Amino acid sequence: MNRPSARCDAALLVVILLILSSVTARAQDAAQGRSLARQWCASCHLVEPGVAASDAAPPFATIAKDPANTSERLHGWLAAPHPPMPDLHLSGSEEDDLVAYLLSLKPH
């Protein structure tokens, strides 16, 4: 008689594991995005606090605070940047990682 309950418990466990793996994957993407930002963006943008940058481009924290900068908008900007930002020819996964990092900087 406990079989339906056991199935529900197993299903709940699968859902919890999927959620946890999704959260972990996003954290890894943001970490990779920070690494990409340090490599490609830091010469113009302030990518993270305590690191020198020019004043030619807005700090990443400022970009992240703008509520208009959704994932879709950031992807669009990176896919077709406008001067003076260069086209970095990012791969899809690099673009995803960079957007994940930017979104991780949004205030909660």
- For the stretch 41-58, pLDDT in tens is 988 898 987 776 676 789
Does residue 75 have a pLDDT over 90?
A: yes
Determine the Cα–Cα distance for residues 104 and 5; give it in Å rounded to an integer: 38
Of 2.60.40.10, 1.10.510.10, 3.40.605.10, 1.10.760.10, the CATH number of 3-104 is 1.10.760.10
Residue 108 has a pLDDT of 78
Asked if residues 62 and 107 have their Cβ atoms less than 8 Å apart, the reply is no
Residue whose C-alpha is closest to residue 60's, from 39, 89, 37 = 37
